[in-house]
A and B are shown apart, each in its own frame.
Chain A
Amino acid sequence: MILELDTASAVPIYVQLRNQIVMGIGRGELKNGENLPTVRQLAHDAGINAMTVNKAYGILREEGFIEIDRRHGARVAARADRKGIYRERLEEELELLAAESRARGIEKEDFLSMCGQVFDQLFLTREVAER
């Protein structure tokens, strides 16, 4: 999987890293059990501080997306570990998104249609990648 980081972005690099890896898992580009580079290797190839990579990996581990093992390094966790607390957070974030959309004049049907398109696009990308 190709990670793309933007050093000019206002979004911190560790957040970009975290988001990219999550996107990769969601699209199926990073499979369950797939190894990720070690902190040192990723920091070296990205030209960033190892602490930044460490922070990103730490967040991913807390969120249940990856496992870190001394022997095998970091790898993508199985799907079952991820659902847990995330549903609650998802509901909170959706509540905010829905409220903001309504406040800006986007109706429910439009909102749901957009969510569906984004979700489909994610899986379309995955299918293309698998092909």
Chain B
Amino acid sequence: MMLDIILGITLSFVLLCFWGTGRSAVHASDHMVLSMRLPSECREEPEVNMVIRQYKRAMNWMLAVGAAGIFLVCSATDWEIVLMFAWIVALLISYGRIYQTYVGKMYRLKMERGWTIGKTHFTILVDTVLSGDKDQQLPAWQWGLLPVILEAVALGIYLVNPGVFVEEGLGRWGISILEVLVFTALLLIMRQLFIKKRNKVYSESSEENLKLNRFEKRGFSILAYGVSAAASLGLLGGILAGLAGFWNLGLILTNGVGGLSLAAAILGFYLLQRNMNRLVSEVPRQTLVDEDYYWRKGYYCNPNDPAYLVTKRTGVGMEMNMAHKGPAIIVTAFTAAVLIFVFWLAAVPVIRLQGTDFTMEEKNGVVEILSPSYPSSFSLDQVEKWKMVETGSLKGRRTNGLGTGSYSIGHFSSDQMGKGMWYIHRKSPETLLIYLKDGTHIAINQKTEEGTETLLRQLEEWLPQRDS
């Protein structure tokens, strides 16, 4: 039930993000509608409004189907996680198709009516003063070493004390650390790619061009360095707090500061873009080149622009220049990696669980628990006592494992019983609970009541002289 609620809230938030992004595409900021620059007098043309209406209708249908899909995902039992990712992928593909279709329509309308603003896309403008400005007053790249050093220290402390963290649930810490590492690495790489983008000519005045280009590149550099340093500091603080015994505080610092850093990055980038748009609109005698041709497919594709990363025309963020092989490879590889990771993480255990069940095997006094994920073992000498309990009475927090409405597998922690390994089918009425002398426990059952009884008999056979 709790999982369904969390899933519902998460997916609703994702849907809200799609709604916001879709809506921002039709807001005419800087004469921009559906990624196309239109003269202000043409904004109210009937054909323009018709394309906008069709786009909004298609988006609304997509959102409605997406909302219905949330109920489907939340009501599934074994396959919620897999369905969730399938839902997100389907939404991404749908949104992409709708956006590309209507951006293409708007572009064709613009070309038919001759609504070009400024010079054609065949024009390349270069400001010799700007190009020759080697320094461009950017923060030194050495500032990027600060988050790297902080993370190296944090990682070093973590790796030197693995046992301590394993006890507290290695997976939770491992994933948190990985998230922060990936986040800061992405920010630093994006910064390096962003400052290498070509200088843009906004006006005939080199002074204005210098001011605007410096503002954009410097602003992004400061944002990237500041946010990645904050996230790294949070990680280091979390690791140190964890080592000092304040585990919850440690995780809050690691995840909380990381989450705040991500929010700060998004907000910072949004403010940077907004201020940049404002400064550009204040430029007297703007020099414009109509580059809508390179955006007509719904994404940026300009072989004459050496930049890999450019600022998005709608929404907040950046996108890749798909005219080059590098970005195409990066996007494909990233998508493939995410799909493979999700499949491995979510689908494989579910698929394997359909065909097998949790079992125990004894050899030389050691019992192996065989499970599709998180197998473990314990020594028969370590068994203190055991009993059968109602499955519904088992309540705990997952620290490193898989948990759905149908099963709980992996490391769990309970207020009554402490830490343990769970291999539980939630719909099975009873569970065999084995207490070990080190204070931990094993909870295991099978899909059927008879199966769980078999596990009990097996254990009693292996421990014939002992009472439960």
Contacts and interface: CB of A to CB of B under 8 A. Distances in A.
Q: Do A and B come from one complex?
A: yes
Interface of A: 1-9, 24, 30, 35-38, 41-42, 44-48, 73
Interface residues of B, number: 25
Contact of B128 (A1, A6, A8): A1
B260 interface: no
Contacts of B196: 44
Contacts of A41: 131-132, 134
B126 interface: yes
B441 to A, nearest CB: 63
B197 to A, nearest CB: 9
Contacts of A3: 125-128
A7 B124 contact: yes
B201 A7 contact: no
Given A2-B125, A4-B123, A6-B123, A45 B304 contact: no
Given A1-B128, A30-B128, A37-B132, A45 B199 contact: yes
Interface of B: 119-120, 122-132, 134, 196, 198-199, 201, 204, 206, 287, 302, 304-306
B75 to A, nearest CB: 52
Contacts of B126: 2-3, 5, 37, 42, 45-46
For the complex of A and B, 10 pairs with smallest distance between CB atoms: A37-B131, A8-B122, A47-B304, A37-B132, A5-B124, A3-B126, A45-B198, A41-B131, A45-B131, A7-B122
Given A6-B123, A7-B304, A47-B124, A1 B131 contact: no
Given A4-B124, A46-B124, 15 more contacts: A2-B287, A3-B126, A5-B125, A7-B304, A9-B122, A24-B128, A36-B132, A41-B131, A41-B132, A42-B126, A42-B128, A44-B196, A44-B198, A48-B124, A73-B132
A30 B128 CA distance: 9
22 contacts: A1-B128, A2-B127, A2-B201, A2-B204, A2-B287, A3-B126, A4-B123, A5-B123, A5-B124, A6-B124, A8-B122, A9-B122, A30-B128, A38-B132, A41-B132, A44-B131, A44-B196, A44-B306, A45-B198, A46-B198, A47-B304, A73-B132
Nearest to A37: B131
Contacts of B120: 8
B141 to A, nearest CB: 18
Interface centre among A3, A8, A30 (most CB of B within 10 A): A3
Contacts of B130: 45
Given A45-B198, A47-B306, A37 B122 contact: no
A10 B305 CA distance: 21
A28 B55 CA distance: 51
A4 B196 CA distance: 21
Contact of A47 (B119, B129, B198): B198
Nearest to B201: A2
A53 B204 CA distance: 22
A6 B201 contact: no
Contacts of A5: 123-126
Contacts of B134: 41
Contacts of A38: 132
Given A45-B198, A47-B306, A4 B125 contact: yes
A7 to B, nearest CB: 5
